[in-house]
Amino acid sequence: MGSGETFLETQNRVLKERELKIRNALEKLRRKRALLRAQRRKCEFPIVSVMGYTNSGKTTLIKALTGEAGLQPRDQLFATLDITAHAGYLPSHMAVIYVDTIGFLTDLPHNLVESFSATLEEVAYSDLIVHVRDITHPETILQKATVLSVLRNLNLPSHLLDSIVEVHNKVDLTERYKPTEENALAVSALHGYGLEELKQEIEKKILTATGKKILTVNINLEGPQLSWLYKEATVQEVEVMPEDGRARVKVIISSSAFGRYKNLFPNSEIFIS
């Protein structure tokens, strides 16, 4: 305590210093994320932003979806101030990047909300938002309203807001939990319950958001189709049938590339998954 400073003045000074530290940390994070956002877009993998309150289980869920054992959830203020982007595979073997966004805080001072929101700017560049809720938290409904309100204020594209995947996490802590909200998925990130259904839902929405299709095509191995598909699409599996010189190829392909493929190879056998 400085000379002549009252307890209240000291407390105010400490709080101001703490606020300044948080402000600086948030600003640094915002700049760093803008840089990484540009790099991430270059790799062209679909991006899934995972959002929710600190302690809702975001990090544990990403760890479960990607199988990354090295990802440690930390129960502390701004535990995810570092940049956390992790690659995972969906049921079709399509690779996606899960971005662990900064956790919402229950008692965030009102004058810091703007700085906090600025760190979420990158969400606009996602292909999908996954909103994780701790369903055992007494204020889970209020928390959902806060997250949706912040998202609406970010002026996100309407397709992003309309396609949010809502995850009710920690269902292992409640007896026979059934979501009452439409389209919500019940999971236990810790025990792996409900993850397959969640991956299928993420894949379905990613395909819609990116305009991609999963196809299986029968091709002649002597023709140019296989090399064309490797160049213009993402080849998932190739099953060669040597006796008739053909192959069955499973691909993830954009609508425009699919159109070009049909024009170039009109007699190709195509099966849409």
Task: Give the confidence band of 77 by pLDDT, cuts at 50, 70, 90.
Answer: very low
Choose between 187 and 154: higher pLDDT: 187
DSSP tag of 102: P
Q: Report the share of the chain in percent with pLDDT over 90.
A: 47
Q: How many residues does the chain have?
A: 273
Which alpha helices (DSSP H) does 44-105 contain, by range?
58-66
pLDDT above 70: residue 5: yes
φ, ψ of residue 89 to 5 degrees: the values are -115, 140
DSSP tag of 84: -
Residue range(s) occupied by CATH 3.40.50.300 in the chain: 43-209
The pTM is what?
A: 0.77
pLDDT score, position 35: 59
pLDDT above 60: residue 83: no
| Contacts of 91 by beta carbon, 8 Å cutoff, 6+ apart | 196, 199, 200, 203
Pick from 177, 199, 206: which is nearest to 62 by CA? 199
pLDDT score, position 51: 95
Which alpha helices (DSSP H) does the chain contain, by range?
7-43, 58-66, 113-118, 140-153, 158-162, 195-210, 225-232, 255-264
Residue range(s) occupied by CATH 3.30.70.240 in the chain: 211-272
CB-based burial, 257-272: b 16+ in 10 Å, e otherwise: bbeebeeebeeeeeee
pLDDT score, position 87: 83
**Distance from C-alpha of 29 to C-alpha of 21, rounded to nearest angstrom:** 12
pLDDT score, position 76: 46
Pick from 118, 126, 81, 73: which is nearest to 102 by CA? 81
pLDDT score, position 122: 79
Tokens of 157: 């594209």
Task: Give the confidence band of 36 by pLDDT, cuts at 50, 70, 90.
Answer: low
**Site of tokens 């969906």:** 90
Q: Between helices 225-232 and 255-264, what is the axis angle to 10°? A: 160
The answer to whether 40 touches 97, Cβ cutoff 8 Å, is yes
- Average pLDDT, whole number, for the chain? 85
Q: How many CB atoms lie within 10 A of CB 66?
A: 16
Which range has the top average pLDDT, 1-5, 84-88, 180-184, 201-205? 201-205
Secondary structure of residue 214 in the 3-state scheme:
strand
Pick from 50, 76, 65: which is nearest to 165 by CA? 50
Weakest-pLDDT range from 43-47, 52-56, 194-198, 267-271: 43-47
Q: Which CATH class is domain 211-272?
A: alpha beta
pLDDT score, position 71: 52
Which range has the top average pLDDT, 2-16, 119-133, 183-197? 183-197
Architecture of the domain spanning 43-209: 3-Layer(aba) Sandwich (3.40)
pLDDT above 50: residue 143: yes
Helices (H) and strands (E) in the chain, counts: 8, 10
pLDDT above 90: residue 170: yes
Which range has the top average pLDDT, 18-22, 62-66, 105-109, 174-178? 62-66
